[in-house]
Amino acid sequence: RDHLEAAGHTCILKDALDFESSSEIADLITAANLEAGLALHLYRSGRLLQGHRIPFGVIFGGTDVNEDVNHMEKNHVMGKVLEEARFAVAFTEPMKEMAQAQWPHVRGKIYVQSQGITTTPNAAFNWNTFLQHAEINQSADNLHVFLLVCGLRQVKDPLYLVNAFSEWHQEEPSVYMVIVGPEVDPVFTREVKAKVKRSPGVRLIGHMPREDLHAVVKNCFAVVNSSVSEGMSAAILEAMDLGVLVLARNIPGNAAVVEHRVTGLLFSDPQEFVQLAKSLLSNPALEREIVANGREYVRTHHSWQAERATYQSLVRSLEGSSED
């Protein structure tokens, strides 16, 4: 929204989950006199913009290309959305290639634009207060917090490392894993809460304001990603920008932004995660080198200015192109 409003557009942000039917979108378009649309996530949002006679573009979310394509009905719907969309944006070349393989008839519509990153830590944030909230009753000086930032849903696999980490914590009480994120899937959330409650060294915190979350990231030892699939993880990029280590599950979406032992560390199973984490704790020089490389990578390849220019240009292509 900031990018588009900077170009003089008026933008209304809506959550696709707030709409039960396409007719509610039609009412919104009429009431607000909307001239164009931009959908984030090809299935969840894109299908709502179909058939309303306003031009629109779509941004792949990750789950759509990685997971939803495996469901025949969703795959068909997303293909129809792409037919009607004026453009589509992928975060990486591999994501673009996956989409082209699924829907070859829309090859010319897909652009690549890496996610731009800006971080704004809350300067007034109190780390010790956060630790108390997380029920971590140890001195911050001797503590190593590994932060997993994700919505509580199965594709993010927040329980993937819990057993291995809990065992490590019992050997080394100064290490903790804190899972931070909103409760997206109520049934799965209950499973996560029950598991965490039984797991020493693992804590669960709900949704946090963005500035506070960035402050937590800045104070932790490392940010962790254990997802089954990713489009492009903002948490990884934000950690790099804030000068914090990243340990990420070795999946295509993560490997597209994390170069092993250069900008972060990639692990293939929970045991390898613990092994790599231990190696970082015992090698401060490697930690400093990876952090410096990660920060430089983000500033070179994930510029918010470049992202702004791309989206302003793409939305300009929608202007005056609606049907009569």
**Residues 61-87, mean pLDDT to the nearest whole number:** 92
Q: How far apart are CA 65 and CA 227, in angstroms?
A: 15
User: Does residue 324 sit within a domain?
Assistant: no
Which pLDDT tens digit goes with each residue over 197-247? 999 999 999 999 999 999 999 999 999 999 999 989 999 999 999 999 999
Q: What share of the chain is helix, strand, coil (3-state, %, to 5)?
A: 50, 15, 35
Q: Residue 324: its pLDDT value, please?
A: 36
User: Does residue 122 sit within a domain?
Assistant: no
Q: Mark whether 226 and 168 lie in a shared domain.
A: yes
According to the 3-state scheme, what is the secondary structure of 29-58? HHHHCCCCEEEECCCCCHHHHCCCCCCEEE
Q: Mark whether 180 and 254 lie in a shared domain.
A: yes
Q: How far apart are CA 231 and CA 93, in angstroms?
A: 11
Q: Mark whether 131 and 256 lie in a shared domain.
A: yes
Edge-to-edge, what's the strand order for the sheet holding 110-112?
37-40, 56-59, 87-90, 110-112
Q: Please, which pLDDT band fits residue 63 given cuts at 50, 70 and 90?
A: confident
Q: Residue 321: its pLDDT value, please?
A: 54
Q: Mark whether 244 and 183 lie in a shared domain.
A: yes
Q: Please, which pLDDT band fits residue 66 given cuts at 50, 70 and 90?
A: confident
Average of per-residue pLDDT values in the chain: 94
User: Does residue 323 sit within a domain?
Assistant: no
Q: Residue 323: its pLDDT value, please?
A: 44
Instruction: Tell me which residue range forms the domain holding 51.
Output: 2-116+304-316
Q: Please, which pLDDT band fits residue 65 given cuts at 50, 70 and 90?
A: confident
User: Does residue 92 sit within a domain?
Assistant: yes
Give the CATH number, domain containing residue 20: 3.40.50.2000
**Residues 68-80, mean pLDDT to the nearest whole number:** 94
| CB of 297 closer than 8 Å to CB of 190 | no
- Residue 181, SS3? coil
**Residues 34-55, mean pLDDT to the nearest whole number:** 93
Q: Mark whether 63 and 148 lie in a shared domain.
A: no
Measure Cα distances from 34 to 106, 209, 308, 324 in Å.
Answer: 25, 30, 21, 14
**Is residue 6 over pLDDT 90?**
yes
Apex 266 CA angle, 133 and 167, nearest 5? 50
User: Does residue 322 sit within a domain?
Assistant: no
Lowest model confidence (mean pLDDT) among 90-94, 205-209, 216-220, 320-324: 320-324
Which pLDDT tens digit goes with each residue over 107-143? 899 999 999 999 999 999 999 999 999 999 888 888 9
DSSP designation for 260: B
Which pLDDT tens digit goes with each residue over 261-314? 999 999 999 999 999 999 999 999 999 999 999 999 999 999 999 999 999 999
Q: Mark whether 261 and 170 lie in a shared domain.
A: yes
Q: Mark whether 70 and 136 lie in a shared domain.
A: no
Residue 323 vs residue 269, higher pLDDT = 269
Q: Mark whether 233 and 221 lie in a shared domain.
A: yes
| CB of 90 closer than 8 Å to CB of 111 | yes
Q: Mark whether 235 and 276 lie in a shared domain.
A: yes
| CB of 42 closer than 8 Å to CB of 10 | no
Amino acid at site 323? E
The contacts found for 68-71 with CB under 8 angstroms, 24 or more apart, are 68/42, 68/43, 69/98, 69/102
Q: Mark whether 66 and 160 lie in a shared domain.
A: no
Query: Judging by beta carbons within 10 Å of its beta carbon (0-12, 13-18, 19+), is residue 232 exposed, middle or buried?
Result: buried
Q: Mark whether 63 and 132 lie in a shared domain.
A: no
**Is residue 320 over pLDDT 70?**
no
Domains in the chain, number: 2
Structure tokens at 238: 């934000």
> Is the pTM of the predicted complex or chain greater than 0.75?
yes
User: Does residue 321 sit within a domain?
Assistant: no
User: Does residue 19 sit within a domain?
Assistant: yes
User: Does residue 121 sit within a domain?
Assistant: no
Q: How far apart are CA 119 and CA 236, in angstroms?
A: 12
Q: Mark whether 144 and 96 lie in a shared domain.
A: no
